[in-house]
Amino acid sequence: MRLHREGIATILLIILVCGLTIYAAWQWFPPMVAWPITLAMACLLGVVLWFFRVPTRGPGEDDTLVLSPCDGKVVVVEEVTETEYFKDKRIQVSIFMSPLNVHVNYHPINGTTTYRKYHKGKYLVAWHPKSSTENERSTVVVKHAVHGEVLIRQIAGALARRIRTYPDPGDAVVQGSELGFIKFGSRVDLFLPLTSLIAVQVGQVVKGATTVIARNEE
C-alpha cells in the first residue's frame, strides 16, 4: 500500500492545516476543548490519507477478460447507443465510486490507446443518467488486436473536481496498469462490443483490476 502522487499537494495542505489548528487549540483553549479538536484533525488527516491509498494489484494475465477499471458498485448494465466515438450500439457498464473507494482507474484490457478526449461539463451526481454525457469527463479508447476497441469514460461527480488521464493516443497499455485518477466521488463507464459476455449485474460491488466485468468471445 502506498499513497498516490495525485494526493501529495492535498496531503501536505491538510497536514499544514491540521498542524496549525492543533497548535492554536492548545495555545488558546483548555485541554477539555483542545483534545476534541486534536482528535477531529487526526481523523481528517486519516480520511485524506485513506482516500489517496493505492493498493498493490498485479497486472492482468488473461486477454479474453475485461477487468473492472475501478473499485465501486455497478449502477448500469444496458445496451445503448454510444454517440461520441463508436456512434453505434454498445453494452454500457457503469461503476459508481464513493468517496471511500480507491480512486485509481485501471486499464481493463491490453492494447493500444487509439483515442483520448477531455470534455468540460456539469457536476451532476455521478449516478445521474445524464452524467455520462453532460458532466466533466475524459474518454479513452483502447484497441485490442483480437477483440477490438473498448471505451473507458472517467466522469466527475458532484464532489469530484479533477480528472487525470495518463495514456496518450498511440501508447501501448497493459491490463491492470493505471489509466488515471479521479478525486472524490465519481463514476467510470465502459462501452463494450455487443458480443461481450457480461459477468456482472447492477448492485454488484467490484474491485479495480481484479473483478471480471466481461468475457470477450474468441
Distance CA 183, CA 160 (A): 5
Catalytic residue among 94, 138, 186, 196: 186
In the structure grid, which three cell numbers stand for residue 148, read together?
A: 477490438
**196 belongs to the catalytic site:** no
In the structure grid, which three cell numbers stand for residue 56, read together?
A: 498493490
Question: What interhelical angle do 31-51 and 8-28 show, nearest 10?
Answer: 180
- Decide the pairing of beta strands 163-165 and 72-82: unpaired
Angle at 39 (CA atoms; ends 185, 14), nearest 5 degrees? 50
Active site residues: 186
